């Protein structure tokens, strides 16, 4: 059974009641609405399945932030699928499009590891990277809260010593979460802060160390050199760390987020992506672009402002939230 059939069956059985599914449902409401509106607009002047229709479809997909490469690939595959299924009516063609989107989404994620990895022994280190404004510090604060609630001891490292207010912002999260923060004065050496944090994590047996980093220096080369230096410091003290290098992306920026991901991935080995502000974005299609063009797993998503709105990425729940209402329901037999 393909992902589309699984989702269709779930719709037929009624909406799952799990709290996590409800969060995806609510958090992706804007993306779902935006995609639905684009699909409806595409079919508003539908006459026949011809070249003009597929040109319009390609433009619609690009506008939905699934990415240029993905949009072209999808359109080519949809041409074949529409012919294969002999779809001619607007509602038939619409279902073929949604089905293909869902199944390509599923295929792109086959074998993908969306889980966060923790050290078998000693401190686990998660290194957070990304441009300023993407939500790194807030993500760290929310994750620290959740980890502490699960019984783990957590330490934070204020490695972004360049952005005005970054250290104070992380320290405020530390007070709110009641977890310690290793920091220095603004403009200090980030690698020295991280060294002190790793040393303390080892000596005091912390379970998890979350490291904030700068999102911008004088230029991109300097930023990447700084990140590389921080990683070397971590590896020197804990050879198996960092267990995760998480790139934080702001979903509301759409294709700019994908461009950032490509740049960071070229210079820093990224193990996963945190996609923030999905609830404020109509650009949920960016996950499809990330899967098809970057092949880096999404591991956490921000679905709202609350502490527990930072959720582990669940592909099936994401697709449910993104396409609910667009897939025709099939009642259970």
300 DSSP β-pair partners: 274, 312
Closest to 106 measured CA to CA, from 3, 13, 197:
3
- 19-112 shares its CATH topology with 124-314: no
Q: Specify whether the CB–CB gap between 159 and 140 falls below 8 A.
A: no
* 36 in a known ligand binding site: no
* 75 in a known ligand binding site: no
* 321 in a known ligand binding site: no
Which residue in the block uniquely carries the two structure tokens 């709290």?
A: 19
Name the DSSP class of 205.
T
Q: Where on the phi/psi map is residue 157: left (φ > 0), alpha (ψ -120 to 50), or beta? A: beta
Q: Is the peptide bond before 224 cis (omega within 30 degrees of 0)?
A: no
Query: In the numeric block, which tokens belong to residue 193?
Result: 């802060």
* 134 in a known ligand binding site: yes
pTM, full prediction: 0.83
* 213 in a known ligand binding site: yes
Q: Specify whether the CB–CB gap between 244 and 299 falls below 8 A.
A: yes
Q: Where on the phi/psi map is residue 205: left (φ > 0), alpha (ψ -120 to 50), or beta? A: left
* 135 in a known ligand binding site: yes
27 backbone dihedrals φ, ψ, rounded to 5° = -65, -25
* 216 in a known ligand binding site: yes
* 279 in a known ligand binding site: yes
Which residue in the block uniquely carries the two structure tokens 């999905």?
A: 278
Strand, coil or helix: what is 67? Answer: coil
Query: In the numeric block, which tokens belong to residue 137?
Result: 């510090």
Which H helix or E strand runs over 65? none
Q: What's the rounded Cα separation, in Å, for the pair 26 and 330?
A: 22
Q: What's the rounded Cα separation, in Å, for the pair 252 and 258?
A: 11
Neighbours of 106 (CB within 10 A): 18
Sequence spans of domains, the chain: 19-112, 124-314
* 277 in a known ligand binding site: yes
* 136 in a known ligand binding site: yes
CA 181 from centroid of its chain's CA atoms: 26
Going by their DSSP bridges, the two strands 244-250 and 208-213 should be labelled as unpaired
Query: In the numeric block, which tokens belong to residue 118?
Result: 């923790």
Q: What's the rounded Cα separation, in Å, for the pair 60 and 51?
A: 14
* 34 in a known ligand binding site: no
Closest to 204 measured CA to CA, from 233, 182, 229:
182
Query: Would you write out the chain's pLDDT as a tens digit for each of its 333 residues?
Result: 455 555 455 544 445 446 677 888 888 888 777 777 788 888 877 777 788 888 888 888 877 777 787 788 888 888 888 777 877 777 788 788 778 777 777 776 677 888 999 999 999 999 999 888 889 999 999 999 999 999 999 999 999 998 889 999 999 999 999 999 999 998 899 999 999 999 999 999 999 999 999 887 546 778 888 889 999 999 999 999 999 999 999 888 877 887 888 888 877 889 999 989 888 766 777 777 777 777 788 999 988 888 888 988 888 788 777 777 666 654 443
Superfamily of domain 19-112: SRP54, nucleotide-binding domain (1.20.120.140)
* 212 in a known ligand binding site: yes
Q: What's the rounded Cα separation, in Å, for the pair 275 and 321?
A: 15
* 139 in a known ligand binding site: no
Query: In the numeric block, which tokens belong to residue 190?
Result: 């980030």
CATH class held by domain 124-314: alpha beta
């Amino acid at each position: 059974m393909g992902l589309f059939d699984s989702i269709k069956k779930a719709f037929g059985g009624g909406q799952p009641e799990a709290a996590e599914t409800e969060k995806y449902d609510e958090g992706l409401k804007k993306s779902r609405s935006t995609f639905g509106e684009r699909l409806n607009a595409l079919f508003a002047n539908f006459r026949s399945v011809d070249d003009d229709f597929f040109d319009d479809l390609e433009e619609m997909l690009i506008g939905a932030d699934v990415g240029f490469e993905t949009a072209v690939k999808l359109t080519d595959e949809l041409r074949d699928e529409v012919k294969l299924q002999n779809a001619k009516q607007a509602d038939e063609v619409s279902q073929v499009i949604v089905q293909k989107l869902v199944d390509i989404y599923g295929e792109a994620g086959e074998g993908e590891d969306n889980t966060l990895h923790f050290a078998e022994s000693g401190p686990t280190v998660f290194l957070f990277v990304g441009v300023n404004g993407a939500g790194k510090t807030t993500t760290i604060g929310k994750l620290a809260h959740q980890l502490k609630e699960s019984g783990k001891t957590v330490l934070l490292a204020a490695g972004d010593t360049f952005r005005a207010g970054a250290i104070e912002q992380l320290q405020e999260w530390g007070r709110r979460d009641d977890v310690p923060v290793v920091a220095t004065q603004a403009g200090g050496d980030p690698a020295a802060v991280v060294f002190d944090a790793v040393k303390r994590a080892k000596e005091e047996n912390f379970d998890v160390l979350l490291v904030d980093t700068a999102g911008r220096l004088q230029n991109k080369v300097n930023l990447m050199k700084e990140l590389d230096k921080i990683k070397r410091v971590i590896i020197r003290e804990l050879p198996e760390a960092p267990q995760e290098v998480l790139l934080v992306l702001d979903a509301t920026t759409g294709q700019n987020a994908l461009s950032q991901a490509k740049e960071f991935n070229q210079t820093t080995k990224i193990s996963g992506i945190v996609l923030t502000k999905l609830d404020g974005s109509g650009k949920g299609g960016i996950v499809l672009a990330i899967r098809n063009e970057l092949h880096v797993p999404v591991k956490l998503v921000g679905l709202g402002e609350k502490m527990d709105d930072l959720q582990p990425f669940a592909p099936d729940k994401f697709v449910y939230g993104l396409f609910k209402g667009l897939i025709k329901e099939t009642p259970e037999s």
